[in-house]
Structure 1
């Protein structure tokens, strides 16, 4: 029986029908794919189109792959249209039409003596409405900017319409309190608000350790003058005669009277290395150095000046501090709290999914740097998984971090050993372990064809759906070829054989009608006597 089946297939030259994949489909105008698509699509795959922005869909958006062919695209995309925008009181717009397509723009314009409040342009949006909303046309007029003790300096003249601007100034001897430039706004008010002009007065000049020799009496108006002299034992820094200025300040600036002696210089966390002994007269010097663990800001050697101050200014000794150690993707396990002084320590550990390069425990050094140097935490990465004779079906993209997954499938003719889906582990290895794809060894055996009902309602085998006529013609050709081969075999090859065609009665069927899927049509070969 096995011999009969093999001969039948070899005579027919038939191969099992395999469903074909589809290529990337092509959509209609003004549409695209809803999702990113691969290059090929298995039989039965559905793809969904969507209209571009500014277009409205009509019809089914999906198509289906059937044996290498896509179903027709029924989706159409029509341009979004907007109704005409509302009319504008005391204004109009252009162009004027009954309807407008997506992104078409209208421009508004107010009538004479009216000011536009809002945007002058509006466009047809994707939802079929004009955006932004139409503006309004209003009358704007501000009153004269009247400021007591102030005057107009520059800018617009009346009438003051929208966006008119003026710059004001106070008359001499008065100071302005507020913004000098004002603008007429949509509410017919000056913005940010009219200023005031107040008389300029200088405060009573108070110079410690000094006396007024001559000058004006209070109140001190513009151009008032006062002359000072320091009391005995003090020296003056600055100008003796001061004048009240238009800005209400004494010019060129009040002097100071300081004692001739400098105080004992006290610099915390420092020691005097060398220098003068107290009392510290002019030109006395002192040199400082910070104690261990502290660093100096300023000049080591100080000189007592004529103003009774150490020059150029006493230094400071601040504790050597290391900056807050910031190691990305790491946590502080233990150690000192900030501020981080010399010999402070901090121990780090990388967060899950990261690995450390460098030393975990760091110590703050005398140079204000962490030693031996802050570590780094880099993400744990798995290598690109290479499975021979396999393809990646789905999963993460490289680089492959912890918990990344990849799913494999063997190519045709190969069988997988192991787990299809692999996960990148904390150790940088794929778990539970990459599979292998081995060559599949199979033996063809006869199969029994079961009846299936096709879309048309006829009965066809699944692998030869709708090909009944082809099968019938093939069987007839097989009988003819078999008969000729048998006669030739008997005559030329000396191989006696008989061919017997066996089939059920097809009474009532047309001569050219193809056999049905469940009808038995077979060709058998039987050897003659004394032959095997």
Structure 2
């Protein structure tokens, strides 16, 4: 029986000892739209009291709550951090125009500049919503530096070149090919606003003249001026443009338009019995390929062929140095590959009575972290701050505040140990009452972070004894 009693006692003591050991935690749980540091994910176990920090996932931003959870006797506290999909919001006001949004201004979507009548967009006419906000050059609607598209007038020969675009003030003159007559102005001028004035003319057929010319050509076996379909991306070689007739058996050749290369077929046509053989030449836009690689950024393309553009966009925390847009021209991409440089923050402010960990001799770039550790007192505020994508620190510097509590005033109460005039944060004392008094309230009090004793001061009340009757 005595042996059984000892066994029960031993088992009870063992259970109490086991219960006194805090339980460890397994890996912290996953939450939607959040991520944990790689080192945290690789760790197997966590001790009670350990803290881990969550970040918002890519393209999401924190809106409220704390980033940390704590292991508490085998269970993780609940994460209060809330992450919402990042939106760039309103792109602002566009002078002499307005913005048209592709969606709800979420990351990856575009906003386009639409200029008012009489104005034209200078440079790229859109911006892209990225994690750092609207990126790219802010569009400008202005008068006087616009361009006019190449005028397309079928069955005509132009003087003024075959440019891809014309500047304000440039003029183009038209001459119709044989068998066609001009309907409209012979000369047009590129005006502000990107419009030709007067409007481009037309080359209309001359039925009677064409018939007579055909009969004349049939008699001699020769041919008139060969016509080219406007979709061929090729033109008759310059040495033939001024000629109006060709002998039977005579050959002419074509050249691809600027920015185009021969992709197959013969460039020659032959006059045979009054008719030109079909043009089999195939001209395709020149390929520019990649506009280059940007460290900490990327190009967004309208395409990689002649006439297309590539616009540079930097990653979050980086700013563009150089021209954002490159154009695919007949000799390749113009300009140079721009550079994305890391955003820099000023030197972090020093805090009295604090040690700074993470100081750097040179600049503080995006995501640089500085930790504060108090020599004296306790830390009020964030113990770590980091350089944000805006070139500012994530929070104001903390303070190292020395917290003291006055000597507790408990009438008829006393405590052992030093009777200091001031006690420091986390100092703990046990209070007892003088003989003949009994204590009500806490017997152990601690100097709190607010300079007050916690959980409060006790009271010493006199004991009442009943008088015994004989």
Same fold? TM cut 0.5: no
Normalized against structure 2, the TM-score is what? 0.28
Rg: which structure is higher? Answer: 1
